[in-house]
Structure 1
Amino acid sequence: MTVQQVTREQAVRRATVASVVGTTIEWYDFFLYGTAAALVFPQLFFPGQSAFAGILAAFGTQFVGFVARLVGAAIFGHFGDRIGRKTTLMATLFLMAFGTVLIGLLPTYQSIGVAAPVLLVLLRIIQGVGVGGEWGGSVLLSMEWGNQKRRGLSASWPQMGVPLGLVLSTGVVRLTSGVTGTEGFAAFGWRIPFILSIVLIGVGMFVRLRVVESPEFEAVRTSNKVIKNPILEVIKRQPKQIILSALLRTSEQAPFYLFITFVLTYAVKHLKLNSNSILDDTLIAAALGLISIPVFGRLSDRFGRRRVYGIGIVMTALFAFPYFGLLNTGNALLVGIAVVVSLVIHDMQYGPQAALIAESFDPEIRYTGAGMGYQLASVVAGGPAPLIAAALLEHYGDSTAISIYIVICTVVSMAALILLPRAVQALAATTPKAVGNPA
């Protein structure tokens, strides 16, 4: 093993690229399941039930993955704060891709009966654990290597994995369904996007092998401040930050999974619109996210994280009723505007969110604390959102109650934003100009 010296600029670039590539792969896998759950999983894995029951069952297995994300955040946060960001991120990437590929090979209910949905749930748990450990490490790797005065921008780069993953997953589903046709996609075409994940893991592993460990973690290790049990320590030292970080995300998480997952069910089953048209709109909105996420991250450096995030919360509340009003017209142009605008408004929160949450925790327990707070929101807000929306729609027959639900989420987030303690200072104020990189 030789030691190759790389400049700080090279290290920053590698960390940023590795974070973006890794989160893109992770979110490709995760969003793929949400799309399949809305389009084909009810009839493939939960047949013999009413259409509503099948949808609830499919979204229920999706929710299991959100619960597993919290477990993943705790497990990999522990190792990320003890042995480093880089090594931990290699494990999360492999775990996520492993679960996704196996879903693509899974026999359906017609082939193996009740074992099919059981295995689907188990693989969904594996997916959730992987993505749960991914976010904290990716954000910290990018943020801790980046310019200290531009942490909003630095931490927003890994967040671009969401629109990139959404573009890839939606694009591949759209292409596959276009080639195989509706019946062919339901019969076998849905497997192709899942199996293709095996190609992405090779790219991700190659990129991450070249990454240099975060300078702030190195500073923690050098000063002998590595925490023996980060989970217990962060719960004891900063429990308020964990809870408020989760509640802070309510107005981002719940509406987001309505905007990208439930909207397929609502538009296709309730409004009788074409699913491919909605997928196309989602592709356009996700592509715009590649611009809007870093822009809002940078604006948070200029005007303050809380101010930009708070404006995003207010805009989400204001758009809750117009969103469904536009969808309900059934007009292709207006539906497209609803989908695109909803995700741009989402990005007003998502851009500055990573730095806002990560800076709230001490460096030596940051991976664990930020990851647990972030993923706890997935359990209390993101995961249940499609289930709640589907139940509200079934009970009331229209979208009014769902819009009210979105407004309630924004009230919760605004309260959490006000109560969240101010950011802590980084342990490593300066970093070396050249760092060792094991070849």
Structure 2
Amino acid sequence: MTTLRFDTAEDTTRDESMAPIIAASTIGSAIEWLDFFYYGFLSMTVFPAVFFPGFNSYVGVIASFTTNFVGFVARPLGSVFFGRFGDRVGRKPTLATTLLLIGIATMLIGVLPGYKTIGILAPLLLALLRFLQGVGVGGEWGGSVLLTMEFGNPQRRGFLTSWPQTGAFVGLGLSVASLLLFKNLYPGEAFQSVGWRMPFLLSTMLLLVGLYIRLRIPETTAFLRVQERQRSQSIVRQIWRGYWREILLSALVRSGEQAPFYIFTTFMLSYGVATLHWEAALLYRGLILASLVACVTIPITGALSDRFGRRQVTIYGALLMCAWAFPYFLFFNTGNPVLIMLAIAFSLGGCHACLYGPQAALIAERFPTQFRYTGATLGYQLASIIAGGPAPIIATYLLGRVQPFNANYPVWVLIALYVIVMALISLLAALYLKDYTGRAAVEDPA
């Protein structure tokens, strides 16, 4: 029978000593997501021309989004591989390895020749490197979250684990800022030939900073306590056999966060520039504003989940996402810069943050320490296949192939309905998840 308990005072890092742990988790997460997001932005603009020339603009974007999707397919595979590694060897070495993997793959993308130079090999190698990026990202999240969770005060679990989530938006903001910077430094054709490569190459320096920080942190006490009694049986088999329901529900509860996020970021840039002819710089500034807002609201919603319950905050977030789907497009389609930036900022810094802030603790605390890295990461990353990865492809398909079925109901209505459906899936999944707020996380089976 599964038992529950709180860590003792001796096992829990004091609040004042959590700053280095939070910094290691957040900064490392920001660096990895910076590289991952930057690729996603280029998949709509530069990559169709560099790696998929000869296609019309619509097919080129679909092909580029499909290559982008390879990174999402790789994330669950990375969660299985690095989850097992993290549960066997430790959180610290796993975090260092994932950072190295994604950093090397990112650097190689920066020097990869285009289609005109090496032909079909160019998109194939691009897909391979995106796959390796996805594997690294798939293993990174669990380690970042578990550092703050297993070192921190159990009563503040939602707040502490929200910081690695915040790191994703730091990475988003930095990726957009770097895109704007190098577009200005390399205007016109220069950006398409050389400029887009520079952030990939310069991220190597950030990689070294993140690696230095992560190598200086200790291993978590919770892992050291169970390391000596790790069994030889497959961790993946054990976690799936004992916690398959929690894994599936964890993936489903992310649907209303994952799908809208990549519609509000990757797809909407393509939609805004190519279809509505808004200036890309306006949309980029909106994403930077949204990232700044989210860096404040994500820790706040994480803290609210400690007070009111993670399941409750998640349900409210899903309802807010449903309510905002249609106003988002109405604001975005006006062409008014203020309303466009408001739509972007509230969608990510409000609706999405309400789901994203408590999510790390909501998922991680339902798995025992012995299998926590594997179980939490697998549940978390499966959503990249069922929600995050397909979302921009589905939205682009609807936009390009489905004709308006009524003059008063343009095709964006279908995309808004898609957002609502995904949010309702999150709501239903949350209703079936046990809430561990104010209680001990699931402990290791005897």
Aligned to 1:261: 266
Matches within 5 A, 1:91-110: 91-110=97-116
In 1, Cα distance between equivalents of 2:141 and 2:231: 20
* Residue equivalent to 2:3: none
In structure 2, the residue matched to 1:436 is none
Task: Write the distance in 2 (CA, Å) between the matches of 1:257 and 1:47.
Answer: 24
When the two chains are superposed, the root-mean-square deviation of aligned CA atoms in Å is 1.7
After superposition, the C-alpha distances for 1:295-339 in whole angstroms (9 at most, x for unaligned) are 000000011101111111001111111111111111111111111
Give, as a single letter, the amino acid of the residue that structure 2 aligns with 1:419: Y
Q: Deviations over 1:354-379 (max 9, x none)?
A: 00000111221110000000000011
Q: 1-side partners of 2:188 and 2:257: how far apart?
A: 32
The residue matched to 2:335 in structure 1 has which SS?
coil
**Structure 1 residue 421, shift from structure 2 partner:** 3.1
Matched, 1:291 2:296: yes
* Counterpart check, 1:233 vs 2:248: no
Does the 8 Å contact 1:293/1:350 carry over to 2? yes
**5 Å matches for 1:294-305?**
294-305=299-310
- Do the aligned partners of residues 12 and 428 (structure 1) sit closer, same or farther apart at CA in structure 2, a change above 3 Å counting? farther
Q: CA deviation at 1:71?
A: 0.5
* 1:36-435 map, 5 Å: 36-221=42-227, 224-225=229-230, 228-344=233-349, 345-397=351-403, 398-423=411-436, 425-426=440-441
Stretches of 4+ aligned residues off by more than 6 angstroms:
none
Percent of paired sites with the same residue: 47
Matching residue of 1:15: 21
Amino acid at match of 1:239: W
Cα deviation, residue 9, structure 1: 5.4
Helix, strand or coil at the partner of 2:190: helix
Query: Equivalents in 2 of 1:409, 1:283: separation in Å?
Result: 25
Partner Cα separation in structure 1 for residue 41 and residue 364 of structure 2? 29
Please report how far the alpha carbon of residue 13 of structure 1 lies from its aligned counterpart in structure 2 after TM superposition: 2.5
Cα separation, partners in 2 of 1:277 and 1:234, compared to 1, 3 Å: same
Offset of 1:396 from its aligned partner? 2.8
CA distance in 1, matches of 2:155, 2:188: 50
CA distance in 2, matches of 1:249, 1:9: 29
Whether contact under 8 Å (1:227, 1:365) holds in the other structure is no
Instruction: Show the counterpart of 2:7.
Output: none
Query: Would the aligned equivalents of 1:65 and 1:127 in 2 still touch at CA under 8 Å?
Result: yes
Shift of 1:12: 2.6
Gaps of 5+ in 2: 1-12, 404-410
- After superposition, the Cα gap between the structure-2 partners of 1:404 and 1:428, relative to the gap in structure 1 and judged at 3 Å, is closer
How far apart in 2 are the matches of 1:427 and 1:399?
Answer: 43
Q: Secondary structure at the match of 1:49?
A: coil
Contact 1:153–1:298 under 8 Å retained in 2: yes
Unaligned stretches of 5+ residues in structure 1: 1-6, 430-439
Q: Write the deviation string for residues 214-253 of structure 1: whole angstroms up to 9, x where unpaired.
A: 121122225x255642111110100001101000000000
How many residues are matched? 423
**Partner amino acid for 1:127?**
Q
TM-score (norm 1): 0.94
Moved more, 290-299 or 181-190: 181-190
Name whichever of 356-365 and 248-257 sits farther off: 356-365
